[in-house]
Amino acid sequence: MNAIDGQLLVIFGASGDLTERKLIPSLMNLFQGGHLPESFAVLGVSRSDMDDEAFRKKVVLDNPHIPETVGNHGHRKEFAKLLHYYDLGSYEEDYAGLNERIAELDNGIGSPGNMIFYLSVPPRIYETIASRLHDQGLSSEESGTRRLIVEKPFGYDLESARSLNKGLQRYFQESQIYRIDHYLGKETVQNLLVTRFSNSIFEPLWNRNYIRHVEITNAESVGVGKRGGYYDSAGALRDMFQNHLLQIISLVVMEPPIGPEAEAIRNEKVKALKSLRIMRDPETLYAHTIRGQYLAGEIDGEAVPGYREEAGVDPDSTTETYAALKFYVDNWRWAEVPFYVRTAKRMPTKVTEVVIHFKSPHHQIFRDIGMDSKDNKLIIRIQPNEGILIKFGVKVPGQGFQVERANLDFYYSDLADQNIMTAYERLLLDAMQGDATLYARADEVEAAWEFVDPILKYWSEAGDVVTYGYSAGVWGPKNADDLIEGAYGWRNPGAHLTDDPGFCVIS
Ligand SMILES: NC(=O)C1=CN([C@@H]2O[C@H](COP(=O)(O)OP(=O)(O)OC[C@H]3O[C@@H](n4cnc5c(N)ncnc54)[C@H](OP(=O)(O)O)[C@@H]3O)[C@@H](O)[C@H]2O)C=CC1
Ligand SMILES: O=C1O[C@H](COP(=O)(O)O)[C@@H](O)[C@H](O)[C@H]1O
């Protein structure tokens, strides 16, 4: 890895959950691994009344999200010294005072000038902060690099995403804007590119001639936790599908880029997103989209509350915590191959995987003796137990031709160097290096919203896609089983939903 130039990282929303749970622990890990630049400082900014010491205590020394195993006390104290805090009266005020503090810190670090502004605040103040930074000359790259990292959600719908893009681009160049999607920082998501484009055995089969359907599952066993207020106005489609899942889908669908550069990859991803068949007619929207909401239930033997009982959630809410879609990709490679994608909270377990289901052999030579071939599957496990599994048929030893399914597998944990960086570590490091490959470009985000927008509109306006209740701890509403036609069904990762006693219509 190239040495990274000195950096000042300014985090807006420093008193918040994301800073404490993800950003600072990731920086601590990078520090521990010797990955941070030699000249480095963090300035936390928010409206909470804290000084440097209180901030260091909150996010490093007393932070329960930094595992005991990371750094001894001395190490933590050393890292904490890199952190500073600025108490902003309001995000709307002019930033002259903040600018002075930034200049002071920037001069104090070895190679001054390079700054990253991380917006870890509610989205409605992204543009205000960008404009105030611009007013202070802090978006100008005359004396160093200036990058703006923007958290999700990026917009609430297509219109607001477009308007946010325009708003930010008024103050920062597109090349300075880094829209974070932490799934892109996951090693296994990036591995989709390598699996497809650095092997000659997969790509020739990666098309409609050999693939029957593609199935993607993103399941979480957690509920909405402390984010009920945000989630209730978002729902699963906005929270997970519009960003993380469409990013995964674009990597599965895309054509080979001409090289590994950010723009080459992003160009292909945009083309892929634009080739998704947008669902517009009510019949398709009705038949190909399913919404669910978790009810009280049990996960790992523990009773958990229903969604409507969570803090910050409207007790009559019909917001979906489960979404399943069927759709097509209108291009040469994927014509008429169905894609089935589901995402949900309060499932029996946490798992994200892509399953490529191959077609049966054209001619079944063992059928006459009552033995169908087993269909091949390629399973890309994004988390947990990251790895790749190929399912193929083998002959059962003995007389005749009995076929059994066998596995060829690879787990990341088998690699000698298992130290996989977390998504936020990887993304923070990339931003410091000016590598935007794993960040979403403006047109990518808009293309994703173009696909999602008509579904959200139909759900909110037509009223005939009801929200089904499913008990926490089952695999979603049972009618989702019928989305995948024929005998296939969802790849069954465990106990199934057919017997869910809670299944009901919520709205
Ligand atoms: N937490 C998470 O797991 C994830 C968060 N995100 C995104 O990251 C960003 C930060 O999230 P998170 O840390 O959870 O949010 P928090 O609600 O914890 O708030 C973050 C910061 O924003 C400031 N803030 C909160 N409410 C307001 C308000 N009404 N007006 C102005 N400032 C406010 C607070 O600072 P103060 O009031 O002290 O100024 C706080 O430091 C959001 O955009 C969120 O969508 C994305 C993915 C996951
Ligand atoms: O962005 C989000 O992602 C998390 C899931 O992330 P993972 O890395 O644990 O898979 C999700 O819980 C949250 O609702 C969503 O906002």
User: Distance (Å, rounded) from C-alpha 412 to C-alpha 409?
Assistant: 10
Say if 373 falls within a structural domain.
Answer: no
Q: What is the pLDDT of residue 330?
A: 98
Find the 368 Cα to ligand 2 centroid distance in Å: 49
Q: How many CB atoms lie within 10 A of CB 258?
A: 11
**pLDDT for res 370:** 63
What is the C-alpha to C-alpha distance for residues 479 and 498, in angstroms, rounded to an integer?
9
Q: Is residue 314 assigned to a domain?
A: yes
Cβ pair 325, 315 in contact under 8 A: no
Q: In the prediction, which pLDDT does 386 show?
A: 87
Span from the CA of 28 to the centroid of ligand 1 (angstroms): 20
| Amino acid of residue 151 | E
C-beta of 453 in contact with ligand 2 (< 6 A):
no
CATH number at residue 447: 3.30.360.10
Ligand minimally distant from the alpha carbon of residue 23: 1
The reported pLDDT for the residue numbered 470 is 95
Instruction: Return the ligand 1 atom nearest residue 15 CA.
Output: 41
Which ligand lies nearest to the CA atom of residue 223 in the structure? 2
Answer yes or no: do 144 and 191 share one domain: no
Distance of CA 96 to the CA centre of its chain: 35
CA distance 306 to 117: 38
DSSP code, position 388: E
Q: What is the DSSP string of 238-273?
A: IIIIIIIIHHHHHHHHPPPPSSSSHHHHHHHHHHHH
- Are residues 215 and 334 both part of a single domain? yes
47, part of any domain: yes
Pick the closest to residue 361 from 381, 377, 375 (CA basis).
375
Structure token pair of residue 194? 């390598």
Pick from 151, 168, 194: which residue ends a domain?
Answer: 151
CATH number for the domain harbouring residue 61: 3.40.50.720
Nearest ligand, measured from the Cα of 47:
1
According to the annotation, is 47 in a ligand binding site?
Answer: yes
* Ligand 2, atom nearest to 243 Cα: 1
What dihedral do alpha carbons 229, 476, 22, 311 form, nearest 10°?
30
Whether residue 108 is found in the same domain as residue 241: no
Kindly state whether residues 206 and 81 are assigned to the same domain. Answer: no
312 and 450 part of one domain: yes
In the Cβ-directed half-sphere of 497, how many Cα atoms lie within 13 Å?
A: 29
Please indicate, yes or no, whether residues 188 and 147 belong to a single structural domain of this protein: no
DSSP codes of every residue in 430-497: HHHHT--TTSB-HHHHHHHHHHHHHHHHHHHHT--SPEEEEETTSSS-GGGGGSS-TT--S---SS-S
* pLDDT for 506: 66
Bridge partners of 10? 43, 117
Residue 237: predicted pLDDT: 97
Rounded Cα gap, residues 473 and 427, in angstroms = 32
Q: What are phi and psi of 382, to 5 degrees?
A: -80, -40
Query: For ligand 2, what atom is nearest to the CA of residue 152?
Result: 1
> Are 214 and 357 contacting, i.e. CB atoms less than 8 angstroms apart?
yes
For the CA of 352, the nearest atom of ligand 2: 10
What number of other Cβ atoms are within 10 A of residue 490's Cβ? 19
| CB of 220 shorter than 6 A to ligand 2 | yes
* pLDDT (0 to 100) of residue 502: 65
Catalytic site positions: 244
Last residue of a domain, one of 102, 127, 151: 151
- Is the Cβ atom of 181 under 6 angstroms away from ligand 2? no
- In angstroms and rounded to an integer, the radius of gyration of the C-alpha atoms of the chain is 24
Give φ, ψ of 321 to 5 degrees: -105, 0
Domain count, the chain: 2
What is the CA(229)–ligand 2 centre distance, in A?
15
In a domain, 255, yes or no: yes
Domain contains 174: no
Do 263 and 328 share a domain, yes or no?
A: yes
Q: Is there a domain that residue 118 lies in?
A: yes
Write the burial class of residue 312 (CB in 10 Å: 0-12 exposed, 13-18 middle, 19+ buried). middle
Please indicate, yes or no, whether residues 17 and 146 belong to a single structural domain of this protein: yes
Q: Is 496 marked as binding a ligand? A: no
Residue 92 counted as domain residue? yes
The pLDDT, as a whole number, for residue 351 is 93
Residue that finishes a domain, picked among 104, 128, 151: 151
Ligand 1 proximity of 384 Cβ (cutoff 6 Å) = no
One domain, residues 138 and 234:
no
Residue 73 assigned ligand-binding role:
no
Whether 239 lines ligand 2, by a CB cut-off of 6 Å, is yes
Q: Which two tokens stand for residue 272?
A: 């892929």
- Domain shared by 120 and 240, yes or no: no
Mean pLDDT per 10-residue run, the chain (507 residues)? 82 96 96 93 97 97 83 82 96 95 91 92 96 97 95 95 98 97 93 94 96 96 94 97 98 96 95 98 95 95 96 96 98 97 96 93 75 80 90 83 84 76 94 94 97 96 86 91 81 54 67
Domain that holds residue 317: 184-357+416-423+442-505
The Å distance, Cα 222 to ligand 2 centre, comes to: 10
Distance (Å) from CA 420 to ligand 2 centroid: 18
Dist CA 343 CA 351 (whole Å): 10
Q: Same structural domain for residues 19 and 96?
A: yes
Closest-CA residue to 327 (of 284, 382, 267, 385): 284
> Crossing angle, helix 158-171 and helix 126-135, to 10 degrees?
10
Cα distance between residue 286 and residue 289, in whole Å: 6
- pLDDT at position 287, please? 94
Nearest CA to ligand 2 atom 9: 220
Tell me if 381 is assigned to some domain.
no
Same domain for 59 and 191, yes or no, is no
